[in-house]
């Protein structure tokens, strides 16, 4: 077959099959990032180390966060993001040089196994005690990454880490962002560190922080607020969080849930079935139906939070997509429209409404 025959007989390409080059052109503009989303300026080496309380400090590079506690016998570090890397050691030296406390890192706590948060933990060597959840141990054993050594101390539900007169309380509330994500509480300092759930000043990162257990990730917002903290660290971005930041993010997730539920009930699936049903292309049907539902759910949320949460117009359609699919797969609203199992309108095959609900997930 000649080239011209192939092109002339080729069906019209799907709109979504945008060539890679076109994806880089026409990059859209977004609403300005509210100044309140940014934190303190970074030093010439690209980090900021700040005091939270007497012996508790945080470090940021503007995108990631770690925390450390200086004690009478050594330093306890929480997370080691590779983007901060050796600046974590510099931060500890900066602080201990002026306080006279020992600068040796004796303990390292893993918030969860993800490489972007603990991928520099190898720099602390073999002599440090590494504390992590049993699921973190399982995931790191599976990863086999020399930059993320497995924990030397593991726990199931709770672990109290007492070092040199200081204390951290580690609690596992079940899977949320990942199977192993834990809550790290410094009660004396009114400080809670939970990664990849709340991003103070920012809308959640896309697809609800790429989380594996969406109902529990949603629930984790309330669990975070039940702790009596006054300072919150979400592991990301350049500033600390307040109670008002937390309440605003609870509200965002509640609004997203409500609008996703509404959109599932409101969007008419007829056009999607009509277009893709006859050829039996269930994947195309789901792709475009879910995209429409996510779009409808996202618009009122973007309108409400633009100017109040950074990046809301950049992540909310993807967040709505994940919320919609979670509600359909996991939530009570899975029965709201499709539970009857009735035939899809104009059905030309045996695909049913409950069939589309099950989708490819």
Nearest to 180 by CA among 149, 115, 134, 233: 134
Q: How far is the CB of 32 from Zn ion (least distance, A)?
A: 27
Residues 6+ apart with CB under 8 A from 324: 260, 263, 264, 290, 293, 294, 297
Closest to Zn ion by CB, 48 or 114: 114
Q: How far is the CB of 234 from Zn ion (least distance, A)?
A: 11
- Cross-strand bridge partners of residue 69: 56, 76
> Which tokens hold the place of 285?
């049907």
Closest to Zn ion by CB, 164 or 235: 235
> Which tokens hold the place of 12?
């019209």
For residue 176, CA distances in Å to 157, 180, 181, 198 come to 14, 8, 7, 12
> Which tokens hold the place of 76?
């306890």
Closest to Zn ion by CB, 114 or 221: 114
Select the span of 4-12, 33-41, 69-77, 193-201 touching Zn ion (CB under 5 A): 193-201
Vertex 324 angle, CA 318 and 328, to 5°: 150
Closest to Zn ion by CB, 196 or 245: 196
148 binds Zn ion (CB under 5 A): no
Select the span of 25-33, 39-47, 112-120, 218-226 touching Zn ion (CB under 5 A): 112-120
| 3-class DSSP assignment, residue 91 | helix
Q: How far is the CB of 117 from Zn ion (least distance, A)?
A: 6
Q: How far apart are CA 61 and CA 69, in angstroms?
A: 18
Q: How far is the CB of 290 from Zn ion (least distance, A)?
A: 24
**Which residue's Cβ has the minimum distance to Zn ion?**
114
Closest to Zn ion by CB, 199 or 344: 199
53 exposed, middle or buried (CB, 10 Å; 0-12, 13-18, 19+)?
Answer: middle
> Which tokens hold the place of 97?
């040089």
> Exactly one of 166, 196, 296, 313 binds Zn ion (CB under 5 A); which one?
196
For residue 163, CA distances in Å to 22, 52, 109, 179, 191 come to 55, 18, 12, 27, 17
Distance from chain centroid for Cα 91: 26
Q: How far is the CB of 112 from Zn ion (least distance, A)?
A: 6
| 3-class DSSP assignment, residue 325 | helix
Closest to Zn ion by CB, 176 or 325: 176
Select the span of 110-118, 183-191, 281-289, 350-358 touching Zn ion (CB under 5 A): 110-118
Q: How far is the CB of 127 from Zn ion (least distance, A)?
A: 27
Closest to Zn ion by CB, 205 or 344: 205
Closest to Zn ion by CB, 196 or 213: 196
> Which tokens hold the place of 78?
């929480």
> Exactly one of 101, 114, 133, 259 binds Zn ion (CB under 5 A); which one?
114
Select the span of 14-22, 97-105, 114-122, 287-295 touching Zn ion (CB under 5 A): 114-122
Select the span of 34-42, 63-71, 87-95, 194-202 touching Zn ion (CB under 5 A): 194-202
Residues engaged in binding Zn ion (CB under 5 A): 114, 196
């Amino acid at each position: 077959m000649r080239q011209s025959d192939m092109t002339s007989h080729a069906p019209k390409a799907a709109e979504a099959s945008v060539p890679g080059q076109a994806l880089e052109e026409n990059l859209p503009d977004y609403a300005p990032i509210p100044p309140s989303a940014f934190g303190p300026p970074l030093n010439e080496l690209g980090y900021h180390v700040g005091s939270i309380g007497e012996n508790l400090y945080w470090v940021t590079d503007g995108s990631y966060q770690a925390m450390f506690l200086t004690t009478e016998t050594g330093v306890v570090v929480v997370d080691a993001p590779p983007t901060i890397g050796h600046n974590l050691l510099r931060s500890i030296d900066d602080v201990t040089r002026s306080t006279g406390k020992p600068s040796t890192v004796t303990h390292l706590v893993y918030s969860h196994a993800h490489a972007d948060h603990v991928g520099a933990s190898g720099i602390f060597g073999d002599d440090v005690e590494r504390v992590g959840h049993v699921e973190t141990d399982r995931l790191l054993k599976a990863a086999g990454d020399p930059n993320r050594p497995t924990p030397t101390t593991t726990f199931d539900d709770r672990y109290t880490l007492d070092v040199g007169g200081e204390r951290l309380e580690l609690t596992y509330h079940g899977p949320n962002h990942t199977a192993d994500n834990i809550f790290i509480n410094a009660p004396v300092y009114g400080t809670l560190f939970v990664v990849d759930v709340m991003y103070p000043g920012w809308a959640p990162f896309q697809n609800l922080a790429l989380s594996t257990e969406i109902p529990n990730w949603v629930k984790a917002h309330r669990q975070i607020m039940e702790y009596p903290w006054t300072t919150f660290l979400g592991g990301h971005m350049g500033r600390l969080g307040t109670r008002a930041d937390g309440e605003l993010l609870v509200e965002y997730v509640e609004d997203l849930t409500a609008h996703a539920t509404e959109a599932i009930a409101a969007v008419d699936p007829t056009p999607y079935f009509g277009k893709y049903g006859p050829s039996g292309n269930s994947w195309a049907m789901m792709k475009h139906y879910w995209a429409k539902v996510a779009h409808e759910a996202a618009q009122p949320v973007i309108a409400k939070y633009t100017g109040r949460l950074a990046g809301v117009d950049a992540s909310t359609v993807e967040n709505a997509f994940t919320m919609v699919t979670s509600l359909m797969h996991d939530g009570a609203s899975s029965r709201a429209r499709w539970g009857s199992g009735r035939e899809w309108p104009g059905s030309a095959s045996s695909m049913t409404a409950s069939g589309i609900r099950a989708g490819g997930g």
